[in-house]
């Protein structure tokens, strides 16, 4: 009982530290981020951070990875439509979450700091790996012609959600997601009437 509550307090403290790291990163920049500032923001002692992470890079990587884990695409649901809806929902939750908004504000992929850029690249590669795996599964089921199409579809879907949620502050309900996904699956062009009938 006591052991369990100690463990849950450790986990919630770690979560607070990683969240404070992202917030600090979004409000200052990688160069100015220090263990002192993160500790102050999380309301913990600096030594708590040093005990767990050796360098600033370790801390920031842990913060970014923890968020990426929560919102990653995961294994296939068994259908291309199901997978796209799940990607859409996970992307929506990510973009609306506090951590997601910090990461979007950091504009990770545009950063000039080599250490941070390398982390962003790692995370992107992992996410692309997940998407590829879903594409392979869809090809195997005969639902998709090329694995690489999955990448293009997820670019279109992710971009539309970014525009809608972040730039326009409009909601992305399941109905909106369904509309996007159906259009991506079947296209918007009206099928031409058959000539010979």
Binding footprint of a second copy on the chain (CB under 8 A): 80, 107, 109-110, 142-145, 149-150, 152-153, 155-164, 166-169, 179-180, 183-190
Question: Whose Cβ is closer to a second copy: residue 145's or residue 196's?
Answer: 145
Q: Nearest distance from residue 102's CB to a second copy, in Å? A: 15
* CA separation for the pair 88, 188 (Å, rounded): 19
Question: Whose Cβ is closer to a second copy: residue 63's or residue 106's?
Answer: 106
7 alpha-carbon distance from chain centroid:
26
Q: Nearest distance from residue 69's CB to a second copy, in Å? A: 21
Question: Whose Cβ is closer to a second copy: residue 14's or residue 143's?
Answer: 143
DSSP string, 55-91: SHHHHHHHHHHHHHHHT---S--SSHHHHHHHHHHHH
Tokens for 62, please give them.
């842990």
Q: Nearest distance from residue 168's CB to a second copy, in Å? A: 6
CB 25 within 8 A of CB 33: yes
Question: Whose Cβ is closer to a second copy: residue 57's or residue 139's?
Answer: 139
């Amino acid at each position: 009982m006591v052991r369990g509550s100690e463990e849950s307090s450790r986990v919630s403290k770690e979560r607070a530290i990683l969240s404070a790291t992202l917030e600090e990163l979004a409000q200052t920049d990688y160069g100015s981020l220090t263990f002192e500032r993160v500790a102050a923001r999380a309301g913990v002692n600096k030594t708590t951070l040093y005990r767990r992470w050796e360098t600033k890079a370790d801390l920031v990587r842990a913060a970014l990875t923890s968020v990426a884990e929560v919102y990653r695409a995961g294994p296939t649901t068994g259908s291309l439509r199901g997978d796209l809806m799940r990607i859409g929902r996970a992307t929506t939750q990510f973009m609306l979450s506090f951590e997601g908004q910090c990461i979007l504000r950091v504009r990770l992929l545009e950063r000039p700091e080599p250490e941070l850029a390398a982390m962003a690249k790692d995370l992107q590669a992992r996410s692309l790996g997940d998407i590829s795996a879903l594409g392979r599964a869809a090809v195997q089921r005969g639902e998709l012609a090329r694995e690489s199409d999955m990448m293009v579809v997820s670019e279109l879907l992710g971009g539309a959600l970014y525009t809608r949620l972040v730039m326009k502050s409009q909601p992305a309900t399941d109905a909106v997601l369904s509309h996007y996904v159906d259009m991506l699956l079947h296209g918007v062009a009206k099928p031409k009437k058959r000539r010979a009938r």
